[in-house]
Structure formats: structure tokens, C-alpha cells
Structure 1
Amino acid sequence: MAPRKAAALRQGDGRSLREHLIATAEQLVSARGTAGLTVRAIAREAGVADGVLYNHFSDKEELLAHALRAHVRSVEGTLGALPEPGVGTLEDNLRTHLRYGMALHRAILPAFTGLLAQPAVLARFGELDGPGRDWRDRLRGYLRAERELGRLAEGARTDAAAALLVGICHETVLSALFPHTAHDSPAEDDIIAAVLNGITA
């Protein structure tokens, strides 16, 4: 093992060098975002030569995708548990999901906006996990389960309801990027009421 590689792993945490590189990149993403983040900056922070990264990742895009996933998982770990189907009220559970989604999107937005000009990274990120792992999929699963339990109407369009809640999160958070188009967001209770009760007379 090269001396610089050995120095990078003198942490006693049992991580492989690949894991160390992902963790280092995730720390940089969390602290500085992804705009202008270079292989050299990651390598220096990790304590390895630039070329070492290519021994463990096919390219910079693969490393950044893994770092993004680690960043999202790290943020999710601070947001608490999501409600279980059949427990508590629908209103409270959807409110918890909405707050979770808002907090998640606010926390990860800086990292993703820096990658708008790098679609390859975003594509790699999307390929890392199968369906069911992200918040949107868990929200869909929750609503479907509530429908199966009979707490939502038999014909409830749960995927559409989930898309509305996800859209509220996107619209609210993305408005921060375009303050000239920002407007007052609907009240949380009004959002939940609209999803559960609709808007017809």
C-alpha cells in the first residue's frame, strides 16, 4: 500500500479506501455543495494522490453519485421516522410526511443545484438504488397501504396524491432559487385538507 493511501486509512474505523473516498466526498458536498468540486479537491481532502480515485471508481461522476447518495442518507438520518400505515390519524401522518419532504429537499437542494450542468452525475445517482428507497416511493407505499387498510377510499388515486405532496415540496424549495417568482406557500393544514378532501363542492 502506498504511503499516502496508508495515511488516509489510519483512522481505526475499519473503512476501506473506497468507503473513505465516498465519505470524504460526502463531507465536501455537505459543507461546500457540488459546484466546482474537483477530483483534486477530493483527493487532497482524503489524503491520497489524484489517480487513486480511479482505482476505485470508473470516473468522477460515479464517485459524486455515491457521495450524493451518502449525503441524502445522512440528511434522512436526522429527520426521524416516518409513520406506519394504520397508526395515528391520516392528517397527522400526511403532515409528518410533508414536513419530512420539505426538510429533506431544503437540506439537499444546494448539492443538487450544483449538478444541473452535469446530468451524468444525476443519472448515475438515480441508478444507485432500486425503487422504494427514496422518500417519494415511501410516501406512495404509505398511501397505498392506507388504502388497502380501508382508511382511504377504495378507488383513491394514491400515486396522484403523493405526486401532489412531492410537487408542493419541489415548488416551495425551488422558489428559493427564483425569489422574483416566489409567493406565499399554502398553509400546511390547507395542503393536507386538499389532498384528503379534494376541492369539489
Structure 2
Amino acid sequence: MATSPALLSRQYARPSHPLPRQLLAPSPVAVAASPAVRLRVRRGPTPAQAKFGKFDAADAPTEAGPTAPATSEADGAAGKAVLEDDSCLPSDLEGAIWQSGKASADFVNSGGMRGIAELLIPQLEFLNQEGAQAEVWALSRILLDTLAEETGQVVKAVFPDAGVAALLKHQWKDAKFKCARS
């Protein structure tokens, strides 16, 4: 597949064969005037690289219990900090969904253009139980209402099932978001 040169910017256009790089020697006058002259070679941005390896739970560091009793004030402050960190966790599932909606809104407000919010709810493993799907829809409404309120923008929820999208659109006429189907 040939690409016309007009479609490529000069920055990313590359010739079909590599060109040899030649450095010009500095003039003797410049070397005499300044002994610490460096030649700069302009290079493109370095490509992003990452190395991935298999994670083994046996290699993970484990939390070791305290070897000595915690009697100092520094240890007491560290224990208090751990308790304070847990205080920001929601106490129930609806609170967790609300917190996820708030975090998604923070992402959008910080300049994020598109995002997918996927909620993994272990309490709802079996959707064939009576009322489980209605609970999922109620939780999704909490997330979407929070997202619409926090961003102040129009939010569109895309449901994979056309029947569900139509049902929820009919039931949630007062919703602050729009329902669509994929």
C-alpha cells in the first residue's frame, strides 16, 4: 500500500532507504575560540518501551508483623495513619458506586475525552436470580446520575441490549442522562 507524501507530515515521513548520517567537523576557528564545543545530533523522540514479566505471588513481598512492640510515638502515628486511610473507603455498595462515578467525573473534568467505566461487583455473580438485573440497573443509575451531576455534561449510557435500553429509557424519564443501545 503506497502512501502519498501529501498525507504524511514532514516530521513522520521517512524515505524508503536510510540516509547515512554525517557530522561536519567544526571549523578550526571555532575550536580555538572555545575548547568545550559539542556537536549536537538532532534525534526524534525515543519510542516508548516496556518490559513485561510474569508475576508470581510467591515473589511478592509480604507484610511482616512488627518484630518489636510498638511503644514509640512514631509507631502510634503510623497506626493512626492506616486507620485514616481506611476511613475514605465507602461502607456499602451504593457508596462504592457513587465514589466510582465521582472518580470518573474527575477524569472527565481533568480533560479525559472518552472512558469506559466497568464495575466488577462480586455480589452480583448470578444474574439469573430474581431481582438481580434490576439491582444492576439501579446501581448503574447511581453511577450515571453521579457522573452527570459532577460533570455538568450530557452523559449517554450505551446498553448492549436494545430491549433493556428501551425499558430503562421508558422507566427513567426523569434521568439526567440519555439511554442508548449499541
| TM-score (structure 2 length as normaliser) | 0.30
Of structures 1 and 2, the one with the larger relative CO (CA 8 A, separation 6+) is 1
Q: Which has the higher strand share?
A: 2
Of structures 1 and 2, the larger Rg is shown by: 2
Q: Which has the higher helix share?
A: 1
